[in-house]
Structure 1
Amino acid sequence: MRISLLAWGTRGDVEPFVALGQGLQRAGHDVSIAASTDLARLVTDRGLTYQPFFIDMAAAFNADTSREWVEHSIGPHREGRHLNRVMSEMAPVAAEGLERIVGNADALISGMLTYESALSAATHLGLKHIRGLMAPMTPTASGRALLYPPLSRRESRINLYASLLFEAALFQLVKPGGDVIRARLDVPRGTYRGYLQMSRATPTLVGVSPQVIPQPDDWRGLVDVTGYWHVPAPDDYIPPERLRTFLETSPAPFYIGFGSMPSSRPQELWAMLCRALDDTGERAVVRFRWRDWQPHEVPDNICVIDEAPFDWLFPRTAGVVHHGGSGTTGTALRAGVPQWIVPHMADQPYFGRRVQQLGVGPAPVHLHKLTAAKLAHALRTLRQNAVMQRRARVLGEQVRAEDGVSRAVDVVERMWG
């Protein structure tokens, strides 16, 4: 079967689809992955066929509109307005790529931001279609499986009603891309009722550990929480000498990095980080991908890196401080070390909350409320809390025992024959 995976997004959005694509290819399918041009090597280096969305996502994420989305998403309503602007601007590029890709596929697996567009195309062209998500998006009464639950630790109809409202809002956010592709395919404009009917009939895979997203009873028959779709570190990875020496010096350092998240105040964040490390006497491996600024001087207690496989790096650290992306959260869990999440946007507050509820990290602090004192307190907690460290080790063993890719491939083949 010719399967196209629509991996629209930054590296953290694309890597899980690469892992799933490898699993499907090993099972004998003809797999291609559509991603932005700056991530082509991520696909081809893993032996998969690449199809382009003609956009540099790293550059686009540092554009004014996307940066405003990341930095001013205080609460779901304001974040929704920013996301709608970003999606409207990117919709023509996504639609052009999707129009070209669907002509060479028997089946599609789409992510959250390509889902509504792919749903329209698949329905019109008679293609098989599965939704692949890295966060919980399906309505439920369970607060543990809901992005914005009124009651995060309970099952309640209040949660279910809130999740239905969220689903309606999400449809309005992703609809611009669908409108463009429907116009290109000469398909009538989408309605929310039609979207719900098609959505309820579309199988959904969630590439996250069931330890993190316990599968609610009201998802049975609709959603499979498979475990993480994990890309392991290359067997031949050799770290730079500076990083190797830094990691071998006791005590183990922390890792601090915010992934692809842009910032308009990198100097302020850098100074905050340096103060927190000085106050605690700690060391850290730091990865900040700020295109327009780099520190002129780096103190001895910091090792700045550009790239390193997290699967290799995190087990060598005392703990991980990060933005709360699904993949980074999962890799820290697999490493068996405690973590602290500084959410910026989207699903990141959810994973910050779940890390705390699972007992493997302190309560998250949103980027807008981050201070040197709060970072220092979190580092002390990660270093000194033996219960948290023990819980992280146990949970790490459980997550490493899962094989999310194999489970997802089994589900796909069972659904599609």
Structure 2
Amino acid sequence: MAPVDTSEDLETTAKLENMRLTIVFMLVGCRDEIKSIILVGQELLKKGHRVRVATHSIFQSVVLRTGLEFFSLSNDAQHPIARNDSGLVPGLSSSDQQEVFRGSKMLMHTLRKCWDACTHPGPDKGKPFVADAIIATPLAHAHIHCAERLAIPLHIMSISPWSPTRRFAHPLAQIQGGSEVDLEVQNYISYLLVEDSLGHEIYRVIDHFRRFTLRLPKLSLVKGMGFLGQFNIPHTYLWSPSLLPKPDDWNNFIDISGHVATADITPFTPSEDLSHFLKSAKDPVLVLLDLAQLSNPDSFLQTIKDASLKYDIYFLLDSKFQKVRSVPDIPTVFVLDSDPIEWLMPKISVLFTSGQFSSINLGLKFGKPMITLPLLRDQPFWSAAIHKAGLGSVPILEADFFSEKFVEAFRYCMQQDVRETAERLSEHGKLENGTVNAVKSFYRHLQSKMVQHSPTATDSASHPLRRTPLVPSSIMSAVPSRNTDMSKIESPSYPSQVTSSNSIEQVKPTFLVEAKGVSRNLMKAIVKPTVSHIADAYNKLETQNDSLAAKAIQKTDLSKTDMAMKVAKNVGFGSAVACGKIALLPFKSKFCNSQD
């Protein structure tokens, strides 16, 4: 949860609220993430701020219904990023040069539109727009570069963790057993490998965008692409700490807001057929899975039919299953029409989900045990979190989905202790107000920028080189400080601003060195694997006149890379969408059963 506010924090927060900021939301990601963060935008709008949401055109109606301003990042509803419900850009790791070109062109277009979203007046030409702050999802890659150009604060919000931790692996990674390396080490480096490999894909496009659109200095790949961690960019994660507590190794730049409330139950009169089914159904199971994500919908429905007939289990199927001809026509299976899910939740006993964030929120809100069948992206991660929290059974793989397996999971969820755990966590969730806490987190980190520049400091390496904003930001206006009446909110440090704390000898000196007894050389190989060390070797070779010395450097650095890859050999991406698109690394995962 966000830290408790002190009286001074509350006083400063009130002053920031009165500033009437102009805030741009850069949202690139899955539908659940975008919808959750839009709720935070609504809360900021209530406080008098001007809020613009820059996202893909398929979300235009969702944004406009909330009263927020909309700015399109792409006018094509079939844009691959939007169509795949993902922030990953297809084609950048393809061997087909034409596909690489198309992917690069799409990414460059999105980056430029993100910049326009910060500075362009939009449809209302008479109402200028210059962002005072940026709130973005991790995969909106332009965020930190636009913030650097305008010298304004950046805040990351997401429904999935992107901050390295020992406690659990990156949601797009799957740690497999049998490794000699400590599991906590594998968890930690999974974030660094995802970060570096994704950075490798987009580096050239990002660098071109910085130099020719934003007129910023060339980006150094040698230091890696992990800017958000290097520059302590504030993060707020929008999930309940009852489901996934904040790891001990996350610093105070990272908050967990708590449960983001969904819509309240609205009055609804069910059809006679639905009313009759609910009266006769004993402990019904609500099935909320994305039909398009199933590799074999007919096989899935046959298993549902077998479980229903053999074990007398009642099923309510999502309305999307109306499109499938093989839906069982039996009294114990009912296909919903446009019936509101919120209205149905109190009337079911178990929720059957793929681990989508929105359905997990529903299960938590109404205190329902959950059976999970993870299919794509971060679904294996959240499915595992549900089981660990005592909210549901062990996740079922699609390849193992048979009636006996489902019935075993159903019986587990019907146990008294599981039902009581679900009800208890639901009560905890009712005390959380994720949207309000997310706004408090945003204010708190703006407040943390209030510092007084030391007039006596002489070490230039310790002071970021700042560039003048194109237009003065509201946040740069004077704000009364606890120590001086001349304090301003400090311009954040960003990629092209070199500081002594970012030297290669001080890169992420985490628990790995001391607690795990890992040597410092191996540590540097772990935290800067593959792409970074290869680039390091390449750049040294370019600037080294002595060919013998150059060969020695190349051999040393590439050996670090080999060592890092050996350590990371059991880290694999757990997403069918990500496989073959996020990196060129030879990773495998039991969850990656298909290729696009």
TM bucket normalised to smaller: 0.7 to 0.9
Partner residue of 1:137 out of 159, 162, 169: 162
Contact 2:365 2:429 in 1 (8 A): yes
2:37 aligned with 1:17, yes or no?
yes
Q: Structure 1 stretch 263-272 or stretch 401-410: which is displaced more? A: 263-272
Distance in 2, Cα, partners of 1:110 & 1:36: 14
Equivalent residue number for residue 172 of structure 1: 197
The whole-number CA distance in structure 1 between the counterparts of 2:109 and 2:151 is 23
CA distance in 2, matches of 1:334, 1:106: 35
Give me the whole-angstrom Cα distance separating, in 2, the residues matched to 1:178 and 1:241.
58
Q: Which amino acid aligns with 2:48?
A: G
| Partner AA of 2:391 in structure 1 | V
Q: Does 1:120 align with 2:151?
A: no
- Equivalents in 2 of 1:297, 1:150: separation in Å? 37
Aligned mates of 1:414, 1:311 — CA distance in 2: 33
1:276 lines up with 2:292 in the alignment: no
Q: Which residue is 1:321 aligned to? A: 352
Deviation by residue 1:369-412 (Cα, 9 ceiling, x = unmatched): 32233223222333x31111111111111122111111111111
Query: What is the rounded CA distance, in whole Å, between the counterparts of 2:371 and 2:75 in structure 1?
Result: 32
Matched residue, 1:385 = 415
Output the amino acid matched with 2:426. G
Q: Does 1:336 align with 2:367?
A: yes
**Corresponding letter in the other structure for 2:33:** D
1:46 aligns with 2:71: no
May I ask how many residue pairs the two structures share in their alignment? 400
User: Which amino acid letter does the alignment assign opposite residue 195 of structure 1?
Assistant: M
Look up the match of 1:27: 47
SS at match of 2:359: helix
Query: In 2, are the aligned partners of 1:209 and 1:227 still within 8 Å (CA)?
Result: yes
Query: 1:98 & 1:118 partners in 2: Cα distance?
Result: 8
Partner AA of 1:387 in structure 2: D
Distance verdict in 2 for CA 1:193–1:213, change over 3 Å:
farther
Classify the secondary structure of the residue corresponding to 1:19. helix
CA contact under 8 A between 2:393 and 2:409: conserved in structure 1?
A: yes
Greater mean alpha carbon deviation, residues 399-408 or residues 1-10: 1-10
Find out whether 1:108 has 2:138 as its counterpart.
Answer: no
Aligned equivalents of 1:307 and 1:95: distance in 2? 37
* 8 A contact 1:145–1:214 mirrored in 2: no
Report the AA paired with residue 366 of structure 2: A
Q: The residue matched to 2:362 in structure 1 has which SS?
A: helix
Q: CA offset at residue 356 of structure 1?
A: 1.1
Single out whichever of 298-307 and 313-322 deviates more from structure 2: 298-307
Distance 1:363 1:6, change over 3 A: same
Partner of 2:285: 254
| Contact 1:143/1:149 (<8 A) preserved | no
Q: 1:195 to 1:309 in 2, by over 3 A?
A: farther
Equivalent position of 1:94 in the other structure = 110
Distance apart, 1:134 and its partner CA: 0.8
Which segments of 5 or more consecutive residues in structure 2 lack a partner in the other structure?
1-20, 120-128, 448-596
Amino acid at match of 1:100: D
Query: Which amino acid in the other structure matches residue 32 of structure 1?
Result: R
Change (3 A) 1:344 1:306: farther
User: Contact conserved, 1:143 with 1:150, CA < 8 A, in 2?
Assistant: no
Matched letter for residue 23 of structure 1: E
Among candidates 245, 250, 255, match of residue 219 of structure 1: 250
Please state how far the C-alpha of 1:318 moved relative to its aligned partner: 0.7
1:126 deviation in Å? 2.1
> 1:266-300 CA distances to partner (integer Å, 9 max, x unpaired)?
22222222222222212222126479755476433
Residues in 1 aligned to 2:446 and 2:82: alpha-carbon distance in whole angstroms: 39
3-state SS of paired residue (1:130): strand
Tell me which structure has the larger Cα radius of gyration.
2
1:205 aligns with 2:232: no
Q: Aligned partners of 2:258 and 2:188: how far apart in 1?
A: 23
Task: Tell me by how many angstroms 1:239 deviates.
Answer: 5.3
- Report the RMSD for the aligned CA atoms in angstroms: 3.6
Distance 1:379 1:161, change over 3 A: closer
Tell which deviates more after alignment, 315-324 or 159-168: 159-168
Q: Which moved more, 1:209-218 or 1:170-179?
A: 170-179
Rate the CA distance shift 1:334–1:231 in 2: closer, same or farther, 3 A.
closer
Greater RCO (CA < 8 Å, at least 6 residues apart): 2
Shift of 1:118: 1.5
AA in 2 matched with 1:163? Y
Q: TM-score, structure 1 length as denominator?
A: 0.82
Change (3 A) 1:346 1:20: same
* 1:73-88 correspondence to structure 2 within 5 Å: 88=103
Q: 1:141 to 1:332 in 2, by over 3 A?
A: same
Counterparts of 1:332 and 1:19 in 2: how far apart (Å)? 19
Which range is displaced more, 125-134 or 405-414?
125-134
Contact between 1:321 and 1:341, CA under 8 Å: does it hold in 2? yes
Measure the CA separation in 2 of the matches of 1:398 and 1:376: 29
Do the aligned residues in 1 keep the contact of 2:291 with 2:297 (CA within 8 Å)?
no
Distance in 2, matches of 1:221 and 1:276, equals 48
> Could you tell which deviates more after superposition, 331-340 or 276-285?
276-285
Structure 1 contact 257–287 (Cα < 8 Å) conserved: yes
SS at match of 2:54: strand
CA 299–260 in structure 1, closer or farther in 2 if over 3 Å, else same: closer
The one-letter code matched in structure 2 to 1:231 is T
Instruction: Return closer, same or farther for 1:122/1:175 CA change in 2, 3 Å cut-off.
Output: farther
Q: Kindly provide the CA deviation profile for residues 113-133 of structure 1, in whole angstroms up to 9, marking residues without a partner as x.
A: 22x332222223323211112
Pairwise CA distance, 1:198: 4.4
Which of 208, 221, 230 is 1:191 aligned to?
221
Q: Could you tell me the percent identity over the aligned residues?
A: 19
Contact 1:256 1:286 in 2 (8 A): yes
Change (3 A) 1:325 1:289: same
Q: In structure 2, do the counterparts of structure 1 residues 22 and 338 end up closer, same or farther at CA, with 3 Å as the change threshold?
A: same
- Bigger fraction of residues in helix: 1
Do the aligned residues in 2 keep the contact of 1:287 with 1:307 (CA within 8 Å)? no
